[in-house]
């Protein structure tokens, strides 16, 4: 007789191919309506499931985890970041947590590079001029932006995504600088011709463009604080495709409004899905609805990692993408 399939509860709708394969392998309950679960529904799910598959929008905090039933042994997050999960409480309760690292690197780096190019060259403003029928023909001073080639790019967080951004940016002629908890391997530094700054403050004060590519953890909350944002040059630009909580959004909005910074490209926000009204009014800001990793290929790759983590765990082995405290 085959072993009993684990009960897997999925909190949001995933790509059809992934849901189909999960149904084949596990006793899977899907969220067909794709409506975000309430806290009460999440508690009900963790009381019944062997495996919970949440996404980054599900707040699986200590209030949810402490109510988990005895069968819940794995939280297989559909996402790279795990700031939506109280990992410590889960581990204390004997629940393994996994994520989906690596698969979104290239997609997020592509979007980051798109923002690095689009904001200084005022692409969205240009589109609006066409839509509003303001374009009356070329002239020497029309829609002047700033050249990207030769500028200094400061990358905050030189992990997989930060390095992928650096490779793209180097090809566009930017000079690569970075701040990280520790320097990357010398071979990578040499390949990217990258300059390491132990002091984030010193780096920020010298950069033309700053790209935020670090995860959101307690240590990185408001890493770009009001004080640090004010270190940036008035001619500088900032791009964030990581997590909104890394930047003091209110201060950034005020600085943009006052012309104390030249522009911003933001794919993430501090209080998603709410967007700061001052950001919505600003002309020198490109705002995107958290779509940095939004490719079909990326979502399928994420789902396949979730399946591998669940299958490996169900077979009695350690899943490949376990989240451990040292990683946070």
Identify the pLDDT of residue 1: 44
Q: What is the pTM for the complete model shown?
A: 0.88
The dihedral of CA 291, 245, 251, 121: what is its sign? negative
Residue 188, burial from CB neighbour count under 10 angstroms (0-12, 13-18, 19+):
middle
pLDDT in tens, 251-281: 999 999 999 999 999 999 999 999 999 999 9
CATH number of 7-103+295-327: 3.40.50.720
pLDDT in tens, 275-312: 999 999 998 999 999 999 999 999 999 999 999 999 99
Q: Report H helices in 79-199.
A: 87-92, 105-118, 123-131, 160-171, 186-192
105-287 belongs to which CATH class? alpha beta
Tokens of 289: 């609805």
Whether the pLDDT of residue 237 is over 50: the answer is yes
Q: What does pLDDT average to over the chain? A: 96
Whether the pLDDT of residue 64 is over 80: the answer is yes
Tokens of 188: 């990578």
Mean pLDDT of 130-152: 96
For residue 2, name the pLDDT band (cuts at 50, 70, 90).
Answer: low
Residue length of the chain: 328
For residue 327, name the pLDDT band (cuts at 50, 70, 90).
Answer: low
Q: Yes or no: say if 79 and 313 are a contact pair by the CB < 8 Å rule.
A: no
Tokens of 68: 């988990």
- Element holding 264 (H helix, E strand): strand 263-266
Which of the residues are catalytic? 243, 272, 290
Domains 7-103+295-327 and 105-287 share a fold: yes
Residue with tokens 């699986």: 60
For residue 7, name the pLDDT band (cuts at 50, 70, 90).
Answer: very high
pLDDT in tens, 172-226: 999 999 999 999 999 999 999 999 999 999 999 999 999 999 999 899 999 999 9
Domain locations in the chain? Answer: 7-103+295-327, 105-287
Q: Yes or no: say if 105 and 84 are a contact pair by the CB < 8 Å rule.
A: no
- Element holding 176 (H helix, E strand): strand 175-179
Whether the pLDDT of residue 326 is over 90: the answer is no
């Amino acid at each position: 007789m085959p072993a009993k399939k684990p009960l897997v509860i999925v909190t949001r709708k995933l790509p059809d191919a992934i849901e189909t394969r999960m149904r084949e392998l596990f006793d899977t309950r899907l969220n067909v309506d794709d409506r975000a679960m309430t806290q009460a529904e999440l508690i009900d799910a963790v009381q019944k499931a062997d495996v919970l598959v949440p996404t980054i929008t599900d707040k699986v905090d200590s209030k949810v985890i402490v109510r988990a039933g005895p069968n819940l042994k794995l939280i297989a997050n559909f996402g790279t970041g795990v700031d939506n999960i109280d990992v410590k409480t889960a581990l204390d309760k004997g629940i393994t947590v996994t994520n989906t690292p690596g698969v979104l690197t290239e997609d997020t780096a592509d979007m980051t590079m798109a923002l690095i190019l689009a904001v200084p060259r005022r692409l969205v403003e240009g589109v609006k001029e066409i839509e509003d029928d303001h374009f009356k023909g070329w002239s020497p001073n029309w829609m002047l932006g700033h050249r990207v080639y030769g500028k200094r790019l400061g990358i905050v967080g030189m992990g997989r995504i930060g390095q992928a951004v650096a490779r793209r940016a180097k090809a566009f002629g930017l000079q690569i600088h970075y701040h990280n908890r520790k320097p990357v391997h010398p071979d990578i530094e040499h390949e990217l011709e990258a300059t390491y700054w132990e002091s984030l403050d010193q780096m920020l004060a010298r950069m033309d463009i700053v790209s935020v590519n670090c995860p959101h953890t307690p240590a990185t909350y408001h890493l770009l604080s009001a004080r640090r944002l004010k270190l940036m040059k008035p001619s500088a630009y900032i791009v964030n495709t990581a997590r909104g909580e890394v930047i003091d959004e209110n201060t950034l909005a005020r600085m943009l409004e006052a012309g104390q910074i030249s522009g911003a490209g933001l794919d993430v926000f501090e209080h998603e899905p709410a967007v700061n009204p001052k950001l919505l009014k600003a002309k020198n800001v490109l705002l995107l609805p958290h779509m940095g990793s939004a490719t079909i290929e990326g979502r399928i790759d994420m789902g396949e990692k979730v399946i591998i983590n669940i299958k490996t765990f169900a077979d009695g082995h350690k899943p490949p993408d376990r989240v451990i405290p040292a990683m946070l």
